[in-house]
Amino acid sequence: MNAELIVLLVVVVTALGFDFTNGFHDTGNAMATSIATGALKPKVAVALSAILNLVGAFLSVEVAATVAKGVVNLNSVGGEDLLFIVFAGLVGGIIWNLATWLFGIPSSSSHALFGGLIGAALASLGMNGVEWGGVLSKVVIPALLAPVVAGLVATAGTWMIYRITRGVSDETKDSGFRLGQVGSASLVSLAHGTNDAQKTMGVIFLALVAHGTLNADSDMPFWVKLSCAVAIALGTYLGGWRVIRTLGKGLVEIAAPQGMAAEASSAAIILTSSHLGLPLSTTHVATGSIMGTGVGRRGAEVRWGVAGRMAVAWLITLPSAALVGAVCWGIAQLIGGLPGVLAVFAILLLLAGWMYARSRRQPIDSSNVNAEWDGGLIPAEDIPGPPANPTPAPAPAAEPAPRDNVTA
Amino acid sequence: MDLLSKTVDSLWQVVAVGLLLGAGLPAIFALGLRALDSGSTTDPAAATTTRKPAAVIAAGTCFAVVVVAIITGILFVMQGFLSHTFGIEIF
């Protein structure tokens, strides 16, 4: 086994790692509302979403090596240089995904990947490596528009739903809308699998082309499809409970009718926008929809402080991931060759392990994901789950959770 | 300004379709629930619910519209796959 092949393997594994974080970071986009209203038990919700992501991944047909096309310009490089850029970009994306997950902030996985690639491309190719017009039209403008559009649609939907069902018994409303909610959330999951898994497939394809295993006109190998589908489904099943909690409990207190309005809005906008070539991020759309359901229901509270933190995270996603991507490229380049790639990979593992250990100090999982929102992501102890979902027991914290800055 | 006009052009379509489907369909679903609820009387003693046929038909129509829309949505997600794998062009 030569050094080039090992570099390729590391890149492929890192790409699958990104796919995995993409899955668990985005579970909440589809399932947070169903979990929060008790329409589905937390474990059932993530399992359903995982299966639909798996199916969705196989439905994607991206064949060409177009990674972040129009955002970064990687045509001028090939071989190991290209592998280095893609690798550093992936590491940037993963680290940003994990960091935002640790703080329970839903942020766009695509933006994290784009950011990482932009940073690595800037560091290696200079200004020519990035297509700034594309950054504006494919990243910045959609990020500004998505929450507004989704919020508008969800507000309208929520308002109409509550108006129409005024006087309908709560029992009918709850059971009916829960069903509708699960249906629309499933559609969001399926669309997510189709759109997001193919991004990683594209990255691996590009790496294989750079290595010379494939040429640009080859068909997507089946093992790439399979491994990407499995990685995103596993990630989804693991469930990014911290993000789910923020989306389902932190932003707005959601009832079943609002949940259906939110997911229907997300599904409609995600499907139409990708069809019309306006690449709105699933995360931004889902978040906007959930906020919209808070605005559209009289008396509902939108926690604008939580929304504000999220907005800040969205703003810094691209530059932060870019910075990490650029630094990783620099380290890999400085050491050079296989040792450089392995060094960055080791850094990635260390940071990921550290963030995982950090999260275990104040774990959020299926048992306490629905606990009362008490000013922060980490639920206060001794507070039972809300009546909407009878299963979760009070948070079984392994040790008294210090309320440090993670809760801020 | 090409970018601006292109964005605005797809934006209003996303908003229009979003409102029609994303807000309209839940509203139709809500209408169905309302029809179901208003057309039914529950006898607590016998623990049975009787429903007026007209209400059931109205509710059924509303739910059918929503189900058709969801199936259309699934086909929409699958359209690339269908045309690529089986050569079926559905949209």
Please state the domain count of chain A. 1
Q: What is the pLDDT of residue A362?
A: 86
Average pLDDT, chain A: 85
- What average pLDDT score do residues A373-380 get? 79
Q: Model confidence over A89-126: pLDDT tens digits?
A: 999 999 999 999 999 999 999 889 999 999 999 999 88
Q: A246 lies in which domain range?
A: 3-361
pLDDT digits (tens, 9 = 90+) for A162-187: 999 988 888 888 888 988 889 889 98
Q: What is the rounded distance in angstroms from the CA atom of residue B91 to the CA atom of residue B84?
A: 13
Band (B89; pLDDT cuts 50, 70, 90): confident
* Contacts with B25 from chain A: Cβ below 8 Å: 264, 268
Whole-number pLDDT of residue A140: 85
Residues of B in contact with A177 (CB under 8 A): 29, 33
CB spacing of A271 vs B11 below 8 angstroms: no
The distance of Cα A145 from the centroid of its chain, to the nearest Å, equals 18
- C-alpha count within 13 angstroms, C-beta hemisphere, residue A73: 13
Provide, rounded to the nearest whole percent, the portion of chain A with pLDDT above 90: 44
Q: Is A344 helix (H, G, I), strand (E, B) or coil?
A: helix
For the segment A281-310, what is each residue's pLDDT rounded down to a tens digit? 889 999 999 999 999 888 888 898 888 988
Q: Is the pLDDT of residue A383 over 50?
A: no
Q: Is A176 a domain residue?
A: yes
- Condensed to tens digits (0 to 9), the pLDDT of residues B29-66 reads 999 999 888 876 666 666 667 778 888 899 999 999 98
**Selected residues 253-272 of chain A with any CB under 8 Å from a CB in chain B:** 257, 260-261, 264-269, 271-272
- The answer to the question of residue A377 being in a domain is no
What mean pLDDT is predicted for residues A178-204?
87
Q: How confident is the model at residue A392 (pLDDT cuts 50, 70, 90)?
A: very low
Helix (H) or strand (E) holding B49: strand B48-51
A141 at B interface, C-beta within 8 A: yes
Tell me if A405 is assigned to some domain. no
Distance CA B91, CA B76 (A): 8
Query: Are A117 and A326 a contacting pair, CB within 8 Å?
Result: no
- Taking an 8 Å cut-off on Cβ atoms, the answer to whether A184 and B36 are in contact is no
Contacts of A281 in chain B (CB under 8 A): none
Write down the pLDDT at residue A138.
80
Q: What's the confidence (pLDDT) of residue A402?
A: 43
**Average pLDDT of A138-158?**
90
| ipTM, 2 dp | 0.85
Whether residue A396 is contained in a domain is answered as no
d(CA A23, CA B90): 29
What would the mean pLDDT of A14-29 be, rounded to a whole number?
93
Mutation target to probe the A interface, by most A beta carbons within 10 A, among B29, B31, B37, B49 is B29
A154 to chain B: closest CA residue: B23
- Please report whether residue A221 resides in a domain: yes
Give, for B42, the enclosing helix (H) or strand (E): strand B40-43
Predicted model pTM: 0.86
**Within a domain: A376:** no
* Interface touch B37/A149, C-beta < 8 Å: no
Element (H, E) at A172: helix A170-211
